[in-house]
């Protein structure tokens, strides 16, 4: 239905209009649907040719029934193993799948930020491309955001989630890494798995922070430095990699230590400012 055009005439003041009878009609109020928020889900990849087709299929199968506008952004760190070619072929038939290739750059955190910065979606997220994160959890994460949460994360430590087939040493290191985050997290939104790489967050909560691109645990930085006021954890059991090799190593461990140091300094600044103010008042 076309809307009538309203034309303004400069000589309208010189026109005499006859009175017109307008009947009083009952016009029911219509519910105007609100604009649906858009989701941008980033898949950072490096040598994931063996997994990428399956994970993209499962991601789209999980998101399609929701009826929401979304885009899946694959950010590939120039794998040169066929990953980019597979994604490009899929994007030819589904424009919601986008491919971004970074050259002369490495790192999960940097890839995620690279993808988020190239989208205008109100909700942004990340999921691994190795199928250790089940895409079938996406509807539950989206429901949590839709219900008002600022952040929804897939949690290995929220019951009945778990770490399947992890050896005791790896489990111990994971729990130690999480224990070290406890003094940094805000008490009102402290989560059990701040190290997960599978989550959705409102862009407004991170618009005023610069996320460190050299690390790989960006959720912790968002929790500490972002404007997140509510978080929901959805439990899941961490799966096994289907193909390819893990990217974790000594460098990632060092990056994590540097991240903890940087975030510790960030949390200490407000404390020192408050302490200085109290000292001035006492004197």
> Which segments in the chain show pLDDT lower than 70?
1-35, 161-175, 179, 181, 214-216, 239-283
Is residue 202 classed exposed, middle or buried when 0-12, 13-18 and 19+ CB atoms within 10 A define those classes? buried
Nearest C-alpha neighbor of 100 from the set 120, 63, 75, 131: 75
- What are residue 272's phi and psi, to 5 degrees? -65, -40
Answer yes or no: is 138 within a domain. yes
The C-alpha atoms of residue 148 and residue 152 are separated, in whole angstroms, by 10
Answer yes or no: is 247 within a domain. yes
pTM above the 0.85 mark? no
Answer yes or no: is 176 within a domain. yes
CATH (domain of 45): 3.90.550.10
* Parent domain of 222: 39-268
Would you mind telling me the total number of residues written for the chain in this entry? 283
Answer yes or no: is 21 within a domain. no
Q: Classify each residue of 245-274 as buried b or exposed e, where b means 16 or more C-beta atoms within 10 Å of its C-beta.
A: eebeeeebeebbeebbeebeeeeeeeeeee
pLDDT given at position 282: 47
pLDDT given at position 29: 42
pLDDT given at position 33: 42
- What are residue 102's phi and psi, to 5 degrees? -100, 130
pLDDT given at position 230: 96
Answer yes or no: is 13 within a domain. no
pLDDT given at position 1: 45
- Number of folded domains that form the chain: 1
Tokens of 274: 């408050």
- Report whether 93 contacts 116 (CB < 8 A): no
pLDDT given at position 57: 98
Answer yes or no: is 275 within a domain. no
Strands (DSSP E) contained in 55-172 are: 70-76, 97-101, 123-126, 151-155, 162-163
Answer yes or no: is 34 within a domain. no
- What are residue 157's phi and psi, to 5 degrees? -110, -10
Answer yes or no: is 7 within a domain. no
pLDDT given at position 107: 84
- Residue linked to tokens 């006492």: 282
């Amino acid at each position: 239905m076309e809307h009538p055009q309203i034309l303004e005439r400069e000589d309208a003041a010189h026109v005499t209009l006859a009175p017109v009878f307008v009947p009083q009609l009952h016009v029911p109020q219509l519910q105007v649907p609100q604009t649906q928020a858009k989701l941008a889900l980033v898949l950072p990849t490096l040598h994931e040719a063996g997994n990428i087709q399956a994970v993209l299929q499962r991601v789209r199968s999980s998101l399609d029934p929701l009826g929401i506008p979304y885009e899946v952004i694959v950010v590939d760190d120039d794998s040169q193993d066929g990953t980019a070619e597979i994604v490009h072929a899929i994007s030819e038939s589904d424009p919601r799948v986008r491919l971004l290739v970074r050259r002369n750059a490495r790192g999960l955190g940097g890839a995620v930020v690279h993808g988020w910065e190239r989208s205008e979606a109100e909700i942004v997220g990340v999921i691994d491309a190795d199928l250790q994160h089940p895409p079938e959890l996406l509807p539950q994460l989206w429901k949590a955001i839709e219900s008002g949460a600022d952040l929804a994360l897939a949690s290995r430590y929220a019951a009945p989630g778990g770490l399947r087939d992890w050896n005791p040493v790896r489990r111990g290191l994971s729990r130690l890494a999480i224990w070290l985050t406890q003094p940094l997290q805000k008490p009102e939104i402290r989560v059990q798995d701040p190290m997960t790489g599978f989550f959705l967050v409102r862009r407004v909560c991170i618009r005023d922070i610069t996320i460190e691109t050299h690390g790989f645990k960006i959720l912790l930085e968002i929790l500490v430095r972002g404007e997140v006021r509510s978080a929901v954890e959805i439990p899941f059991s961490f799966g096994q990699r289907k193909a390819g090799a893990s990217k974790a190593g000594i460098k990632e461990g060092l990056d994590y230590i540097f991240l903890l140091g940087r975030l510790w300094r960030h949390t200490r600044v407000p404390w020192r400012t408050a302490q200085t103010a109290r000292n001035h008042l006492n004197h």
